[in-house]
Every structure is written in C-alpha cells, then in structure tokens.
Amino acid sequence: MGRAGYSLGGLRGEARGGIKCGICGGAGGKWAKRYCLRCRRLLKRSGDAKAAYVAALQKAWSVGDDGFLCHYSGVKLVEGGRKDPWALSFDHVVPGQKGNLVVCSFLINVMKAELSEEEFRVVVKEIDRHWKGQRFRKDVIGFASWNKAALAARGRIRRALAITGARGNLGMPGRLGKPGARGVKGPCPICGAEAKKGTRYCARCFRLQELRGERVAARKALKRAWDAKAGGFRCHYTGIILEEKDRKSPWYISFDHPTPGKKGAVVVTAIFVNLMKTDMSEKEFRAMIRELAKKFKGGVFDKSKLEFKYYHRGVRPKTKK
Ligand SMILES: [Zn+2]
Ligand SMILES: [Zn+2]
C-alpha cells in the first residue's frame, strides 16, 4: 500500500522522490544522487574543488540548447573526449588560480594557454584589429600570468616548437660549417650585418636559423621578417618586433608552419601567438580570431565559418615518455 505513490517509470528513470540534478535540472537522482549521470560524468575531474566544477557547469548550462555553452564562444560543447575541437573542457580564468573555473571548448582552452581571460579577450581583439589594418598595440597586454607560468609552460612551448618542427638543438654549429661556406665574404644574407667567421651569416642570424630543422625555410622566413629600419624580426601575425634572447618572454621568436605539417613554408611569430594558433592553418586561425573578436565585442560567434582540417595533430597536452 505504501508504494502506491510511485509509478514504475518514476522508480526507473525519473528522479526519485522528485530530486532534480543540481546542475542541469534534469532527472537527477536515479540513485538519489545530487547530479544526473550526464553531469556526473563531466564532474570526474581532479585538481580543483568539486564545487568549482559544479559552479562552472551550472553557469554554462543552457536549458534551451540542452547542453553546455562555451564561455568564450557561446558554442554548444561536445561532451566527452577531446577529439572534437568543441569538446567540453574546464579552464582557469586566471592560469594557475584554483577555484575559478569556466567551461569552454578544448581548442579555445589550448589557444588561451597562459593568458588570463582578460588578457585573452584583449589579445584576440587586438589581433583582429591589426588584421583589419591597424597597428598592433603591444602594451595593451600585461602578460601578468605569463612570466609566472612560463617555466611550467616550458614543456608546452617545447611542444609548440615540436609541432612546428623545431629541433631545439641550439648547439652543434659545426654542422653548418659546410664546405664552401668557409671563406665566403660579404654581409649576412638575412640582415646585412657582418658575417660570423666560418659562415655566411652573422652570429645573430646564425643562432636563430639553427632553431629548427628546416634551415632553408627558416632562413627565408627570417629574411622576410627582417626589418632593417627597426633592426629586428617582425612577427608575421602581429607585426611586433620579436624578442630573441629571453626564452620566457611571450614575444620570444618562434617558427610556425602556416599550414600545419607542411614542410618548407615557415613564418616567424611570437611564441604566444604560435601557441594560440595551435593546429590551425593560417586561414583557420584568422577565421577563429575574427569570430572570437566578434563575440567579444557583443556579436554572435558563427561556428559555420570555421573548419579544422588539421585539428588533433599533436595538440593533446600529454608529455611523451
Ligand atoms: Zn545534470
Ligand atoms: Zn644576420
């Protein structure tokens, strides 16, 4: 008699005793849990307090979309796995600062790298502005979390360079002393400075071109990036003169394949832009920045403008053992 209040359906599928999921509001407590199975799957995380993950999911939940929306793009996210660029991931609003989480797409999470939300928004808008013909204003970003995170990010930076094909063997200059190079006189073919002994290049360019495996392409990229008037190399994507010595600087010089994996075509760019571009081709990257900037200025992010032909090539944040 006492069971009269329960329907069979209620016992099996619906929330028992009317418990609703504390995140999505759906039929939650199949086994009288606070959250439904779908949300609980997403909560299987570690690092931050569970409450932070719950809060992030609650904020991202959209009843109308029956899903979680990316904090940065507003795109409905794919739950489970990382194979999709729109896979749901958790992002620290300020890198390394626990407890302050948002939900965003895995790809945008990778793009944001060591930037705070504030910095990320500023950078995206600034790059977009620059691509529309304005000068990139370097001082709009403080990179407050960059320096602190740079050491921890070193593996990440190395991976970024690995993605672009860099060898990272800064030494071994002996290999450059090819027969014929010795004794060649004249200015450095890249920057015009006096050549270093035993090579055609000046000491500065000699060191830079050695950053990577594809030396010929690297030289060409350096030559294209060289600004004689400013006395430095300009970033292909921002036009800013790059840092050549401080490897921890976000503006540290790096090489990028405009088309991921396509050897022989290389440009010079700041390491933070390189990280931001990740697995995208230049065209894809430009479309992504354009859509994000639009969204950050109050517009609508148009997912259909994007394609990810090169996605998941080397992007997984796992260290090789
Ligand atoms: Zn739920
Ligand atoms: Zn030179």
User: What pLDDT, in 10s, does the model give residues 207-257?
Assistant: 887 655 677 888 899 999 999 999 999 999 999 999 988 888 889 888 888
Kindly state whether residues 83 and 28 are assigned to the same domain. Answer: yes
For residue 144, being part of any structural domain is answered with: yes
The rounded Å distance from CA 222 to ligand 2 centre is 9
Kindly state whether residues 61 and 32 are assigned to the same domain. Answer: yes
The neighbourhood of ligand 2, an ion, using CB within 5 A, equals: 188, 190-191, 193, 202, 205
Strands 253-256 and 267-270: antiparallel
Kindly state whether residues 18 and 147 are assigned to the same domain. Answer: no
For residue 186, being part of any structural domain is answered with: no
The rounded Å distance from CA 206 to ligand 2 centre is 7
Kindly tell me if the per-residue pLDDT of 145 is higher than 90: no
Q: Percentage of residues in the chain with pLDDT exceeding 90?
A: 44
Kindly state whether residues 22 and 131 are assigned to the same domain. Answer: no
The rounded Å distance from CA 36 to ligand 1 centre is 4
For residue 173, being part of any structural domain is answered with: no
Kindly state whether residues 60 and 145 are assigned to the same domain. Answer: no
Overall average pLDDT of the 308-319 stretch: 59
Kindly state whether residues 146 and 20 are assigned to the same domain. Answer: no
Kindly state whether residues 215 and 98 are assigned to the same domain. Answer: no
Q: How far is the C-alpha of 147 from the C-alpha of 212, rounded, in Å? A: 24
For residue 149, being part of any structural domain is answered with: yes
Q: How far is the C-alpha of 115 from the C-alpha of 254, rounded, in Å? A: 18
Kindly tell me if the per-residue pLDDT of 259 is higher than 70: yes
For residue 11, being part of any structural domain is answered with: yes
Kindly state whether residues 94 and 132 are assigned to the same domain. Answer: no
For residue 59, being part of any structural domain is answered with: yes
- Residue whose structure tokens are 């600034």: 126
Kindly state whether residues 33 and 130 are assigned to the same domain. Answer: no
For residue 267, being part of any structural domain is answered with: yes
Overall average pLDDT of the 40-52 stretch: 84
The answer to whether 35 and 50 have CB atoms below 8 angstroms apart is: no
Tokens of 85: 């660029």
Return the sign of the alpha-carbon dihedral for residues 181, 186, 190, 191: positive
If one compares 198 and 73, the residue with the highest pLDDT of the two is 73
SS3 254: strand
Phi/psi of residue 158, each to 5°?
A: -60, -40
Q: Indicate the residue among 75, 105, 135 that finishes a domain.
A: 105
If one compares 136 and 265, the residue with the highest pLDDT of the two is 136
Kindly state whether residues 91 and 163 are assigned to the same domain. Answer: no
pLDDT score, position 53: 94
Task: Output the pTM of the full model.
Answer: 0.81
Domains contained in the chain, number: 2
pLDDT score, position 34: 85
Where in the sequence is the domain holding 272, given as residue range(s)? Answer: 124-168+211-277
pLDDT score, position 63: 93
Kindly state whether residues 139 and 240 are assigned to the same domain. Answer: yes
Q: Which ligand is nearest to the CA of 21?
A: 1
The rounded Å distance from CA 192 to ligand 2 centre is 6
Dump pLDDT digits (tens) for 49-80. 889 999 999 999 999 999 999 999 999 999 97
The rounded Å distance from CA 55 to ligand 1 centre is 12
Q: Which ligand is nearest to the CA of 219?
A: 2
Kindly state whether residues 163 and 249 are assigned to the same domain. Answer: yes
pLDDT score, position 223: 93
For residue 188, being part of any structural domain is answered with: no
